[in-house]
Amino acid sequence: QFCTNNNAHVVQPRLRIEEIRAKRLSIFDKELKRQQALIPRLEKIEVAYEGLDNETTTLVMNKGVSTPYNCAQHISEHVVKNSVAAEINGEIWDFHRPIPSDCTLKLLCMKPEDQHQASLVNKTFWRSCSFLLGAVVEGSFQDEISVSLHSFPPANVRSGSFVYDVQLSLDDWVPSQSDLRQISASFQKFVRQNHIFQRLDIDSSVALKMFEDNAFKAEQIPHIATKSSSGHTVTVYRVGDHIDISRGPMIASTSLVGRCLLTAVHKLDSRIYRFQGIALPSEIYINHFALGIIEARARKLNPARIPELKSN
Amino acid sequence: MSTIGLLRTIFSHKILTSNVIQTPSLNKSPFIVGFFLNHDQVRTMSRVKRRTTHPPYWHVLKNPQKVDDKISADNLRFVREVIQENYKNKSPLKPSELQIEKSEWDPKTKRSGVIARNIGMQYMWEKDGKKVKCTVLHVLDNHVIRYIPPEEYVKTMIGSKFFKYKKPLGCLVVGAEARNPERFTKQYCNLFASVGLMPKKTLSRFIITPNAALPPCTPITAGHFVVGQAVDISGKTIDYGFQGVVKRWGFKGGPASHGATKFHRRGGTIGTGRDKARVWPGQKMPGHMGSERRFSRGLKIMRINMKYNVIYVKGTVPGATNTIVRIFDTVLPLRKLKEAPPHPTYFPPEDGTQPEEDIWDSSLHVFGSPSISV
């Protein structure tokens, strides 16, 4: 329902998005099971949890299996529901990522007092929203239009919006207000399903197999892999049925996202469209007028780096 | 059966369903008169819900349910700046800029009314020294929001009731008292967004003839009325709360002394005990008094201050001080407008000449002028 078929150029007979996702999910599940099976016997680690008023408790957790989520379950339900990410030995850590060794743990909420922590949480939130935007956009278009997610730039809150660059097989698409509202509605619906961000470090060969149908990702994977610590791993996140590559830590789950909107779509050169959106955490409520100001700002073209296409 | 009972059955009156007060002359026997005086004007007020505290279901939600999170002081200041910038250039437009069709006033025209606030009472004196009690009404910043033509208005819930047996008329939606948009919901602000106005605290509808229609964003000021004109003022009466029968219905109660035991301000008898042996609907009893919409009709405008948009009206007005009232041209046939008022509304002269600031009625003594004229 997004456009007529005059603008569509079918590149080649391609699989539908559901089939691609199902294929990726099966590879993901297999890899996850394989990594879980690598742990022969459960060893215990001591996690020093620092809570309110610097009160510390020691939790005895399973090495390589327990996540900060499991630690939070020992503390309270409030902390389980409202934590955004964890801080392990001073480093931001995904909420559902297994802890490898003894450490100090802090659980970060959406409104931390510390300025540095607040900016980190903010960036994490922004990054996750970009990711979610890609997930929503991929599934929003009709089957005839080929959608290839390119990438999203590093989180920059000051730019006014989070961004995902997508290649569509449409030559000159200008979305109408109802189109934007429709995608925003499906964004909101996706977020309400409360999916968790499941992280997985995979080998670049597995990643290439996963993203073989996406030319851009296949190109990016070797570069990302060389920059990683081991030289050949790529981090991949799963949210619901969607899987994508991303380096940085993500928020715990989509339930932390409150109001989310797709504000603008700008055409970059050669059929790449920049999808821009804004979102507010579910904990924070501001009046409609202030939100309107933020929305108006997010309609301007985001100044993030425009991806250069070598092929096509 | 007693003679009185027999007479009552022979000469029993018909039950009247209209507004008419049963006058004793309708009864044929002098014996029956006294028994039925209690049941005057009963049926029209029976089972009528006089007031509700909630707005009708079709109204858009006005006040936001959630409380804002704390924004930093910098951000607050920025939001205020944006509001000021967005709305500061909504100054009254010159008549040439508004698309107003030149229409003629005729005695059958119904003009728009005005939303004002009752700010208290003042005394004026006529030239012969007679004191005149006036109510001071401050005409707030009224702006026209939209005009609903007769064909459309007749299809609405209220419009279809109003014009069931009458010729349909148009409806002008007017708002008064601009307020910070953050204090309202988005749906309420959208009512004004189409004309680019700051959301108003009070909204009102005025039934008008199509020739008195005004375009959106037109300001309506005190100059809309003419000094010496008669107006009708509608307002919500003072809320007295739960009141007894003496204050509410003007009953006489009982004697203060001479042995009256516990019967000073009570209602007394509430039925006959014989005919229709029950309490009739609408029986006057203690209950909630006030907070009802009432009209004060035919009040004369004694003075208009154009600079401060203030109207002085002779007499009293329903409602307490500092409450909102609506002012209309009067419907009373003997006091109606005979000459054309500013139609469809008053616009300051285009050549920039300032209008007279204070306009007094000819019968009034102007404060500051010599009281003895030679």
Of the candidates B314, B289, B299, the residue with the CA atom closest to the CA atom of residue B364: B314
Cα torsion angle, B220, B223, B229, B232, sign: positive
User: Could you please report the per-residue DSSP string of B82-145?
Assistant: HHHHHHTT-PPPPTTTS--------TT-----EEEEEEEEEEEEBTTS-EEEEEEEEE--EEEE
Mean pLDDT of A143-147: 84
Judge contact between A99 and A65, C-beta under 8 A: no
Q: Which residue of A has its CA nearest to B65?
A: A287
B37, B141: one domain:
no
Residue B367 inside a domain? The answer is no
Conformational region of residue B154, where left means phi above 0, alpha means psi within -120 to 50, and beta covers everything else: alpha
Q: Flag if A289 and B64 touch (Cβ within 8 Å).
A: no
Helix (H, G, I), strand (E, B) or coil at B171: strand
The rounded distance, in Å, linking the Cα atoms of A274 and A165 is 5
B55, B151: one domain:
no
Q: What is the pLDDT of residues B200-216, one digit of tens each?
A: 999 999 999 999 999 98
Residue B371 inside a domain? The answer is no
Res. B32 pLDDT band, cuts 50 70 90: very low
B187, B295: one domain:
yes
B140, B25: one domain:
no
Q: Which residue of A has its CA nearest to B83?
A: A289
Helix (H, G, I), strand (E, B) or coil at A166: strand
pLDDT tops 60 at residue B28: no
The rounded distance, in Å, linking the Cα atoms of B351 and B355 is 11
Q: How far is B202 from chain A (nearest CA, A)?
A: 20
The rounded distance, in Å, linking the Cα atoms of B316 and B298 is 11
Total tally of structural domains belonging to chain B: 2
B221, B318: one domain:
yes
Task: Report B:49-78 residues touching A (Cβ under 8 A).
Answer: 64, 66-69, 71, 75
Mutation target among B79, B85, B87 for the A interface, most CBs of A within 10 A = B79
pLDDT at B44: 52
The rounded distance, in Å, linking the Cα atoms of B202 and B325 is 10
B319, B181: one domain:
yes
B51, B139: one domain:
no
Residue B349 inside a domain? The answer is no
Give the closest of A284, A285, A289 to B181, CB-based: A289
Residue B256 inside a domain? The answer is no
Q: How far is A119 from chain B (nearest CA, A)?
A: 15
B197, B334: one domain:
yes
B211, B308: one domain:
yes
pLDDT at B276: 77
Mutation target among B67, B69, B190 for the A interface, most CBs of A within 10 A = B69
Give the closest of A283, A285, A289 to B79, CB-based: A289
Residue B90 inside a domain? The answer is no
Residue B150 inside a domain? The answer is yes
Q: Which of B59, B74, B89 is the last residue of a domain?
A: B59
B52, B133: one domain:
no
Judge contact between A173 and A267, C-beta under 8 A: yes
B131, B47: one domain:
no
Q: Which residue of B has its CA nearest to A290?
A: B79
Residue B202 inside a domain? The answer is yes
Angle at B327 between CA B324 and CA B331, to 5 degrees: 145
What is the value of pTM for the model shown?
0.78
Range of the domain at B3: 1-59
Mean pLDDT of B115-121: 97
User: Could you please report the per-residue DSSP string of A23-45?
Assistant: HHHHHHHHHHHHHHHT--S--EE
Judge contact between A272 and A165, C-beta under 8 A: yes
Contacts of B189 in chain A (CB under 8 A): 288-289
Q: What is the pLDDT of residues B258-273, one digit of tens each?
A: 888 888 888 888 888 8
Residue B64 inside a domain? The answer is no
Give the closest of A283, A285, A289 to B182, CB-based: A289
pLDDT tops 60 at residue B374: no
Least confident of A164-168, A262-266, A291-295, B262-266: B262-266
- Exposure class string for B261-293: b at 16+ Cβ within 10 A, else e: eeeeeebeeeebeebeeeeeebebebeebbeee
Q: What is the pLDDT of residues A214-229, one digit of tens each?
A: 989 999 999 899 888 8
Give the closest of B66, B82, B189 to A293, CB-based: B82
Res. B104 pLDDT band, cuts 50 70 90: confident
Mean pLDDT of B212-224: 92
B44, B139: one domain:
no
Question: What one-letter code names the amino acid at B214?
Answer: L
Res. B174 pLDDT band, cuts 50 70 90: very high
The rounded distance, in Å, linking the Cα atoms of A11 and B253 is 95
Phi, psi (5° rounding) for residue B8? Answer: -60, -40
The rounded distance, in Å, linking the Cα atoms of A192 and A184 is 12
How many other β-carbons are positioned within 10 Å of the β-carbon of residue B168? 19
CATH number, residue B139: 2.40.30.10
Six-digit token string for B204: 């009102």
